[in-house]
Amino acid sequence: MFEDKVTEESLEKQLFEVLQTNDPDQDKKILAICGNIATATMNLPPDRLDSYKNIYKHQLSQLNLDIKDLQKLSAVINNSFPSNEYQGLRNVIDIHLTEELVKEAKKARQAELADKRKAINENPKFKVIKDMFRDKGMAEQKDFSAKGVKQAGVSAGYIAQEDVTNNTFILKQFYKNHTDCFAIKDQKQQMQALNDRRDGVQELIGSGLYQLLLYDRTPKEELVKPNQNNPKSLFVRSKFFDNVVQLSEFSGSLSGAMKADNEQLQKLEGFEKVIAACHMLGELDYHAGNLMVQNGNTITKIDHGRSFIEFHQDFPAMVQATYRHFINFGYANAIRQGNLSFTIEKYSESLKQMITQLDERQIEAIVDQRIAELEKVGFNPKGITALARFQGGRAQSTPINNFADLRLFYKENIKENLTNMKEVAKSAEIVSKFSNVSPAFKQGQWVEALARSATQDPVAYASHYDIKIEEKNALQWAHENNYQIKVPAAPITKTIQEQQWQKNTTDGKWQEAEVSVTKIHKTTANLDPVEYIIYAKDHLNLPLSQSETKFLSQAVALDISNVSDKTYQSMVEKSLIAKISLDQGLKKKMHDQDQFVGDKLVPVIDNFVGKTLSKEITTERVDRFYDKLLARLKAENYLTGKDITNIKKDPDYQNNIQETANLIKATTPDLTGGDKICYKVANFCKKIGLSDLSNYFIKKITPEKLDKIHKIEEALTESIKINEILLKPSGVKEGIQTKRLEAVKKVTQSDLEVRRLKQRGRG
């Protein structure tokens, strides 16, 4: 079958020539194998290529040839049989060479990868990437060496070192199954083991969410599969921060509590951000042992096992719960002493940022991912008792029977709290806009101030304490911004269809199914701040504050309506407290205005005394003085032109002028002309119903001089009874007083009036 020039002997010779060595024993072996290959090749039937392949491979395996020798051997046979009819033979010959070439390439590739790994380990940038991937993966307990006992907290676990990286971790231990806990005889330890199962789940879920909110200010945490000594357990590994100490230790405390008088606390940053994250994720346990100080200035958070328990229904619930914890953890005392800052601006900004970072889709994804990891390693959630509360009191317990229950509990509560925290953030932003408050309030005492107040709503609080918001009256700010106070209303119960994961009873596989779920939805009602404040103050029998009275006086006078088109006048009419406060406010305003106008009338009196009393006193000069007095009262909106006309028409007006002239002329060494004029002006004001203005001038005369003036008056009118002058009982006097009240109620056009005009325009 082969070409005539190629013989078994010639092929054997050619093969030996390319493979021979200088070792006689080895060459003897090579010659024998070359003879076997040549014999098999020359006598090969066309249909026996598979048999030839096995013979060829067997013979080569005895020589342990390298790539170069294999190439030489292959070249001899290929050159001996170049025709296309021998292609099958050549392919068989090349198979072994190809396999060896592939092996060599793999070795080269592995060597190349080894060099790259070495470079990564030596290059800090690549090491960070490598560590990041390792931190995100599930590990095995056998990869860690125990280094010590877990010191802080009560949960089970230990301190360990990762063998590959030498990084230090805390490994927190919990049982896979509820029933395994009952093998523990000690009741206290048994209860702790049961709690550790819940806390382990919350640690794992919480770590994913805290990473989203706090980035590098919270440790990286992942599951660890047990070794053969702990088959019933699982672990969550928590990577140690570099260069950190507990906040309690940083403050100088050895007990785990905060030492409030340490001034080193003043340089810390990030407290507001960490507390905001705790509020977002329902953290209960943010004491000074679970907060760390990194690099001597930055606060970080560890230990999330008690997350998803202390949620917040609204801003008042958040303030009250936070103050309670601040008292217990020692933070409130440190804030009072000015050593720890919890600034409202930073807290508000942190909340707003976190609300943009976290959404319901991310909550769903992280909860699903973490629970899937637990399911994959054989964890059974049945028997867990989950806890949660949204407002004070005891936490409500929820029994967990399966993974569907577990997912539902955490998804619903975290999402509900996210909705609530959006409203909390709005209220916190309003508090951050308080204008006339102390620096200490802004730096952290706002929590205690609001918590100890009868109301925690920011607008109601500000209006009660006469605090301005963005330099405006609090109620005016609320009116301009359509602010409404949310108050709890009756909950609504609904049955809805929901997709849930359930295990198929036939094949045991999990699948999505539509199930009926009964849900209780908490609802709120919106109240105008004025309605809320009036109701509260009627209930507590408290007067309106100065700023509340001022706003309502203006709003009532201008007939302003709120966003619901309800007038503030109608709100006031329903409240006895509001009526009394506005009446007292009106009286005070009248008194203040009388003081102001009295000050303006004094120069008129002084001018008359200075220019006239040195001359002959005539009724004409006194008449001109009263003309100026009446003109000033008109200018100040106390009298109208019609009022003045009626006064001057009255016959007693001239009697008043004459009596004033007589009193001035009377010889009285101890009385000045100013004393006499003040007395007559006071008497005049009293008779026309301006009693506060009358008192203003009476107070300018000493009691002794006033007594002398009374005696002189009696002497001048010894047989004449002084009647009421100028105003008749049911005539001018009543009209002037009415005008006086109307004048006092008037206010200058303001933003409130502009708003009223806009409202009427819409109507």
SS3 for 624-683 is HHHHHHHHHHHHCCCCCHHHHHHHHHCHHHHHHHHHHHHHHHCCCCCCCHHHHHHHHHHH
Which is more confidently placed, 611 or 518? 611
| 520 bridge partner residues | 493
- The pLDDT tens digits of the residues spanning 454-480 come to 999 999 999 999 999 999 999 999 999
- The pLDDT tens digits of the residues spanning 103-131 come to 766 677 567 656 655 655 655 555 555 66
Residue type, 251: S
Q: Can you list the alpha helix ranges (DSSP code H) found in 377-485? A: 403-432, 439-440, 446-451, 458-464, 474-480
Across 194-208, 269-283, 436-450, 571-585, least confident range: 571-585
| Nearest partner of 213 among 302, 294, 273, 284, judged by Cα | 273
Q: What angle do CA 420, 479, 422 make, to 5 degrees?
A: 15
Percentage of the chain beyond pLDDT 70 is: 79
How much is the average pLDDT of 560-574? 87
Tokens of 455: 């109301």
Task: Report whether 308 contacts 288 (CB < 8 A).
Answer: no
**pLDDT at residue number 289:** 92
**pLDDT at residue number 83:** 61
How much is the average pLDDT of 603-613? 81
Three-class SS state of 20: coil
**pLDDT at residue number 728:** 43
How much is the average pLDDT of 637-660? 82
pLDDT level of residue 684 (50, 70, 90 thresholds): confident
Which is more confidently placed, 334 or 552? 334
Q: Which helix (H) or strand (E) holds 594?
A: helix 576-612
**Cα 644–chain centre separation:** 64
Over 80: is that where the pLDDT of 483 sits? yes
Angle, helix 619-635 to helix 576-612, in steps of 10 degrees: 150
Which is more confidently placed, 111 or 22? 22
Across 304-313, 438-447, 610-619, least confident range: 610-619
SS3 readout for 274-293: HHHHHHHCCCCCCCCCCEEE
pLDDT level of residue 675 (50, 70, 90 thresholds): confident
Which is more confidently placed, 633 or 734? 633
Over 90: is that where the pLDDT of 502 sits? no
**Cα 284–chain centre separation:** 16
**pLDDT at residue number 738:** 44
Q: Under 8 Å CB-to-CB from 125, ≥6 apart: which residues?
A: none
Q: Which residue has the tokens 């967990």?
A: 400
pLDDT level of residue 509 (50, 70, 90 thresholds): low
Which is more confidently placed, 91 or 351? 351
pLDDT level of residue 739 (50, 70, 90 thresholds): very low
Which is more confidently placed, 703 or 557? 703
Cα separation values, 258 from 343, 492, 599, 746, 750, Å: 19, 43, 59, 56, 51
How much is the average pLDDT of 748-761? 48
**pLDDT at residue number 81:** 73
Angle, helix 673-687 to helix 651-665, in steps of 10 degrees: 160
How much is the average pLDDT of 288-294? 94
**pLDDT at residue number 736:** 42
How much is the average pLDDT of 356-377? 95
Residues 118, 230: Cα–Cα separation, whole Å: 34
Q: Under 8 Å CB-to-CB from 137, ≥6 apart: which residues?
A: 222
How much is the average pLDDT of 7-31? 79
Q: Under 8 Å CB-to-CB from 117, ≥6 apart: which residues?
A: none
| Nearest partner of 196 among 138, 135, 150, 148, judged by Cα | 150
**Among 258-272, 509-523, 688-702, which range has the highest average pLDDT?**
258-272
Over 70: is that where the pLDDT of 261 sits? yes
Tokens of 105: 């390439």
pTM of the model: 0.65
- The pLDDT tens digits of the residues spanning 23-44 come to 887 778 878 878 877 777 776 6
Over 90: is that where the pLDDT of 619 sits? no
Mean pLDDT of the chain: 82
How much is the average pLDDT of 8-28? 78
Counting every residue written for the chain, the total comes to: 763
Residues 335, 447: Cα–Cα separation, whole Å: 10
Over 60: is that where the pLDDT of 344 sits? yes
| Cβ neighbours of 571 (radius 10 Å) | 20
Over 80: is that where the pLDDT of 567 sits? yes
**Cα 196–chain centre separation:** 28
| Nearest partner of 266 among 244, 299, 288, 292, judged by Cα | 299
Which is more confidently placed, 152 or 202? 202
pLDDT level of residue 727 (50, 70, 90 thresholds): very low
**Among 143-152, 270-279, 624-633, 721-730, which range has the highest average pLDDT?**
270-279
Cα separation values, 542 from 210, 458, 537, 583, 689, Å: 44, 18, 5, 15, 32
**pLDDT at residue number 196:** 95
Residues 333, 322: Cα–Cα separation, whole Å: 13
pLDDT level of residue 149 (50, 70, 90 thresholds): confident
Across 116-120, 520-524, 531-535, 555-559, least confident range: 116-120
Over 90: is that where the pLDDT of 337 sits? yes
Tokens of 751: 């933003």
Across 184-198, 516-530, 552-566, 622-636, least confident range: 516-530
Residues 410, 311: Cα–Cα separation, whole Å: 12
Over 70: is that where the pLDDT of 285 sits? yes
Percentage of the chain beyond pLDDT 90 is: 40
**pLDDT at residue number 672:** 84
How much is the average pLDDT of 206-224? 94
**pLDDT at residue number 134:** 63
How much is the average pLDDT of 52-78? 70
Over 80: is that where the pLDDT of 603 sits? yes
